[in-house]
Structure formats: structure tokens, C-alpha cells
A and B are shown apart, each in its own frame.
With several copies, the nearest count.
Chain A
Amino acid sequence: MQEQRVEILYNEPVSSRYFRLGLKWKTSVIVPGHFVMLRVSDGLDPLLRRPFGVYKVLNAKGRDKLKGDGIELIYQVVGKGTGILSGKTPGEVLSVLGPLGNGFPVPHPSQDIVMIAGGMGIVPLYLFASTIKRGSLLFGARGKAQTLVAKDFKALGLKVRFATEDGSLGHKGYVTDLLSGAITPGTIVYACGPAPMLKKAAEICAKEGAQCYVSLERAMACGIGVCLGCAVKASAHNERENKNYVMVCSDGPVFESALIDWDRI
């Protein structure tokens, strides 16, 4: 959990706006769903760390494959911080805080597993899938270019169904369109992606009686539950527990979908 300075092993473009970042990492076991906070520059702008999910544990040893020589992150260049990150070269050293947060709960062996990802939401789900090694994935993306990482998924031997808004791959439309058809009341759904997608997935699961866990994203300052910046409104059910807001970084990022007030997400 400590802050550490780790070496960059590789930082390679997957496509023009997506990069795989390999970091030396020997210290702690990663649980799928964990994230890390990277400091992209020693300067004061950008000031805050940037959160990223863990995609892979490199050269993982042992039974659960969650401790190895390094970790791989996948990031999309969207602004200042990720722009600077994309210019880093192997051998450079980054300050990393983590692993942080609570991971995905382990499913019951008898449960059917459906993973549903939108865009970069694929990241924590891949690590989860590579541990659990069963279930199927529904993957929504803007277009074909963004589905590159899905190759890794297929290599795991998991069934992957695509949805693209432009119809360039798989179903034309939203990935949540595929969800009702893929679940039954016993299914456990793991979802990660943009808020509207998660909201829709939560609704569908509630309707179909499936269990649903979502991994949320929120602008973060500290990543460790102290700034109270990454709050999301808890559902009325949770309000009775006297927790009106939950913190994505320390209470999450993975939540049971019923705990979230989806109207105020």
C-alpha cells in the first residue's frame, strides 16, 4: 500500500491513443479490481496523482497468479496527465501509490459469470477473468480499434461478444443491449465502464434478479479515503446505514450495484 518509486518496463502504444504500461512490481499482491495512483510528473502541474486499474500481473507465480515481477496497466490518452505519461520511456521511474481499493468479490463456484465492459472498463475485468478463468464477456466500444485488448481475453478461452456503436464489430448499438439475453436470476454480473452503461446494467440485473457488481470511476485526489472527494450518493437502502455517500477509492471502486443511487450518479 506504500508509495513507491517503480521502474517503467515498457510503455507501448496499442493504438494511437491507448498504451500498455509495464511497471516493475514485486512488493504486494494485487486483487482484481485494485487500482494504483500514478504521479506522472515530479512537477506541480498536473498536481494530483491519476488512478488506473491493474490489467495484468506479469510473470505471475503461484496458485492465484496475483504476485509476480510486475504489473501492466492500460491507459487511454485523454488529457494532460495521460499525455505526459505517454511520453515516458523504459527505465524512467514513477511514483506509484497502491494497490488501493477493494476488488471484485469471488463468485460462488456454481454461479454463472457475465462480465460487461465499456471502453477502458475492460482493464480490471481482464485481471479478474484471468484469475477466475470462466464466464463470458460482453464488450462495448466506440469502434473496432478499441477492441484490441479483447484479443487477450480470447486467449484466456473466454467467450467474448462485441457491441460497437458504429456496428464495425459485433452488435451495432450499446453493449447493455446484449445483457438481458445473457443472464438468468442466478447469474453474477461484473460491470465496468462509463456511468450510463453501469446504470443500465444495474437496472437490467435488478429486473432479471441477477447479482451485479460495478466498478466505478470518479475524479480522485487522495485515493485513500481521506479527501472525501470521490463521493457517490448511496441508495436509500444504504442511507439507513447512515452512509449517505460512499467513497469510490476506499469503499470501492467495486460496489454491489444496489448500494448506489443511480439517479444521482
Chain B
Amino acid sequence: MKKTKENPLAIVVAGIRLKNPVMTASGTFGYGSEFMPYTDLSKLGGIVVKGLSLKPRQGNPSPRIVETPCGMLNAIGLQNVGVEAFITDKLPKLKGVDTAVVANIFGETVDEYIEVAKRLDDTEGVSALEINISCPNVKKGGIVFGTDPFEAARVVSAVKKATRLPVITKLSPNVTDIRVMAKAVEDAGTDAVSLINTITGMVIDIEKRRPVLATSTGGLSGPAIRPIAVRMVWQVSQAVRVPIIGMGGIMSAKDALEFIIAGASAVQVGTANFVDPDISVKVVSGIAEYVERHGTTVKDLVGSLTTG
């Protein structure tokens, strides 16, 4: 009887096989290829690309970012090249890179989500879709899809019907009870949930008496929000059965392991990529070291938290 030594870092999330649980978060890693001079993309579990819409989007006026204590606000406004240019210009650059590529998508109407999903469905090199529901729903007067369980579920079931790819739904933390949102999208058929997106925040320039960001508010990310993100992952892990991808302020393997132990099958590294473009690979090796030292596997660590 031969026992093949399995990769202790490998994990399957929503049917996607990841060689390790570390992915890069949408909007913090461009379209992936920009990081080739700085890091070895093939060492990553996966790459989630910048959010894609049907048409190219120019994004918000500037200033778009401001640093905050242990974090930053961004109001990029989902600037992106559009799904078409992604497929023709950006995706080919990742050919030959041994990592899962996830396309993050969004729209201002359910139809727009459907169209982007359809366009990506027959695209080689895309392993899954991640639906960003933290977007203003133009038909509902700008209320974001991600704070209304009914609207969120609508988007998810529509996208599920439009694609054969696994669907990950990315949840907004700007809600009273994130379990309600997670259950709604689980019932709507999502294959996994990812969380958290940014938390709405504001910084004011007291000399000008104006918000620093041109759009007044922006999304808070970085280590400042990590305790909130870990809490939400833990809550969601007790509420749903679909796998969870955790994120929010991960700067090190230790941080990533907090999410995994809380219940995340995989993690995404976001803002940290700006601080050190090679940090995601460092997170992978830190997790490998921990798994080795404890004689365990990532699979066994997922949700291994004891409470009470």
C-alpha cells in the first residue's frame, strides 16, 4: 500500500483546487501581471483580479486614498478596463502562471452582473467568479446590493444561472448581522462566500474643513479592521455550510491563520500588497512553517477554534 504524501497546504474551495490557501484580494493586485517584477505569482494559491464591469470605468475623482491609523481609505470608484479588455489584454499575461485566477465582477444592475458573468463563462484561464455586491444598485436609488439580503440573493441566483464557473459571493461588512447576508446568498446558490469588503469611513482635513477624499467617504481596509473581519468570519462559519474565504487586514501568516482557525478555508491578502509586493508569498511560507511545526494540514486547521 502506497501512501502519497499530500500537500499539507492544499485546499479545495467551491470546487477550485488551491495549492495553498493564500490569494490576493481584488483591487489590491491589479490584473496580476503587474506584480511579476516583485513576486513569484506561481507560489500563490490564487489571484483575484481588480473588479470588472461590462464597460470600462474611469473611476472617481482624486484624491482617492488617504492613510488612517493602521489602515487606509480608498474611493477608487471601481475604475477598470472592462471585461472585454481584461480578456484580450490582461488575462493572456497570466498564461503559464500556475495559480488560480478569480475574476471579481460587479454591476449597477442585475443584468450587468449577468452579462459580465456570461462573457467570462467561456474564457480559458478563469477558475471562478467572485461577485462584489458592495456596489450601488442604481435601480434602488443607490442602496448597495450587499446590505439587502433580498437584492443580494437576486444577484447571486442570476449570476449562478449565467455561468458554469464556481461563484464566490463577496460580502459587505456594513450590515447589522452578516450571518443574514451569508445565509441569503447561500440559499441563492453561491458556492462560497468571501469576506470582508471594506468598511465605510471618512477622514476630514481640519484646515480645509473638507473631506480628504473627493467622494467624501471611502472604504477602510488594512490591519485596523482585522478584529472585525475575524469576528465576522467566525460568525458566518457558524451560520452557513459553504466554504468561506476570509480577509481584512492580513499582514502576516499569523494573521492569516487567525482567519483559517476562525473558519476560513482560504484567505485573501489585500492592502498589505501595497506595503510589500512580495508579502502574499511570505504569508504562504509562514503558514507552511506553522503547519509543519504543528504537524497538521490547512484542511484540519479550518474552523479548529475552541471557544468557551
A and B touch in the complex (CB under 8 A): yes
Tell me, yes or no, whether A245 is within 8 Å of chain B by CB.
yes
Do residues A245 and B276 form an inter-chain contact, with CB atoms below 8 A?
A: no
Do residues A3 and B277 form an inter-chain contact, with CB atoms below 8 A?
A: yes
Interface string of B48-89 (1 = CB under 8 A from A): 000000001011011111110111101010010000000000
Tell me, yes or no, whether A156 is within 8 Å of chain B by CB.
no
A91-118 contacts to B, CB under 8 A, are: 95, 97
**Number of chain B residues whose Cβ lies closer than 8 Å to a Cβ of chain A:** 35
Do residues A226 and B61 form an inter-chain contact, with CB atoms below 8 A?
A: no
Do residues B29 and A245 form an inter-chain contact, with CB atoms below 8 A?
A: no
B223: A residues at CB distance < 8 A? 44, 47
Q: Which of B30-38, B120-128, B133-141, B189-197 contacts its partner?
A: B30-38
With A and B bound together, what is the CA distance between A3 and B35 in angstroms?
12
Q: Tell me whether chain B's interface is mostly helix, strand or loop, or mixed.
A: loop
What distance in Å separates the Cβ of A255 from its nearest Cβ neighbour in chain B?
Answer: 14
Q: Which of A135-143, A160-168, A227-235 contacts its partner?
A: A227-235
With A and B bound together, what is the CA distance between A232 and B273 in angstroms?
22
Do residues B64 and A48 form an inter-chain contact, with CB atoms below 8 A?
A: no
Interface centre among A46, A224, A228, A230 (most CB of B within 10 A): A228
Closest to A2 in B: B38
With A and B bound together, what is the CA distance between A222 and B72 in angstroms?
12
Do residues A245 and B273 form an inter-chain contact, with CB atoms below 8 A?
A: no
What distance in Å separates the Cβ of A96 from its nearest Cβ neighbour in chain B?
Answer: 11
Tell me, yes or no, whether A45 is within 8 Å of chain B by CB.
yes
Tell me, yes or no, whether A6 is within 8 Å of chain B by CB.
no
Do residues B275 and A224 form an inter-chain contact, with CB atoms below 8 A?
A: no
With A and B bound together, what is the CA distance between A219 and B30 in angstroms?
18
What distance in Å separates the Cβ of B65 from its nearest Cβ neighbour in chain A?
Answer: 4
A245: B residues at CB distance < 8 A? 58-59, 62, 79
Tell me, yes or no, whether A20 is within 8 Å of chain B by CB.
no
What distance in Å separates the Cβ of B2 from its nearest Cβ neighbour in chain A?
Answer: 40
How many residue pairs bridge A and B at CB < 8 Å? 97
Chain A interface bracket (under 10, 10 to 19, 20 to 34, 35 or more): 20 to 34
A10-59 contacts to B, CB under 8 A, are: 39, 44-49
Tell me, yes or no, whether B28 is within 8 Å of chain A by CB.
yes
B277: A residues at CB distance < 8 A? 3, 97, 222, 224
Known pairs A3-B278, A222-B274, A244-B58; A45 contacts B37 (CB<8 A): no
Tell me, yes or no, whether B303 is within 8 Å of chain A by CB.
no
Do residues A47 and B62 form an inter-chain contact, with CB atoms below 8 A?
A: no
Tell me, yes or no, whether B251 is within 8 Å of chain A by CB.
yes
Closest to A264 in B: B61
Q: Which of A45, A218, A222, A229 contacts B70 (CB 8 A)?
A: A45
Tell me, yes or no, whether A193 is within 8 Å of chain B by CB.
no
Q: Which of A49, A226, A264 contacts B29 (CB 8 A)?
A: A226
A39: B residues at CB distance < 8 A? 275-276
Tell me, yes or no, whether B271 is within 8 Å of chain A by CB.
yes
What distance in Å separates the Cβ of A232 from its nearest Cβ neighbour in chain B?
Answer: 6
What distance in Å separates the Cβ of B210 from its nearest Cβ neighbour in chain A?
Answer: 15
Q: Which of B63, B273, B275 contacts A226 (CB 8 A)?
A: B273
Do residues B74 and A227 form an inter-chain contact, with CB atoms below 8 A?
A: yes
With A and B bound together, what is the CA distance between A2 and B278 in angstroms?
9
A182: B residues at CB distance < 8 A? none
What distance in Å separates the Cβ of B274 from its nearest Cβ neighbour in chain A?
Answer: 4
Closest to A45 in B: B70
A contact residues vs B (CB 8 Å cutoff): 1-3, 39, 44-49, 95, 97, 218-233, 242, 244-245, 264
B contact residues vs A (CB 8 Å cutoff): 27-30, 34-35, 37-38, 56, 58-59, 61-67, 69-72, 74, 76, 79, 222-223, 251, 271, 273-278
5 interchain pairs, CB-CB under 8 A:
A2-B38, A3-B276, A39-B275, A228-B27, A228-B64
Other A-B pairs beyond A3-B276, A233-B61, A245-B62, 19, CB < 8 Å? A1-B38, A2-B37, A3-B277, A3-B278, A45-B69, A46-B67, A47-B71, A48-B72, A48-B274, A48-B275, A223-B274, A225-B30, A226-B28, A226-B274, A227-B27, A229-B74, A231-B62, A242-B56, A245-B79
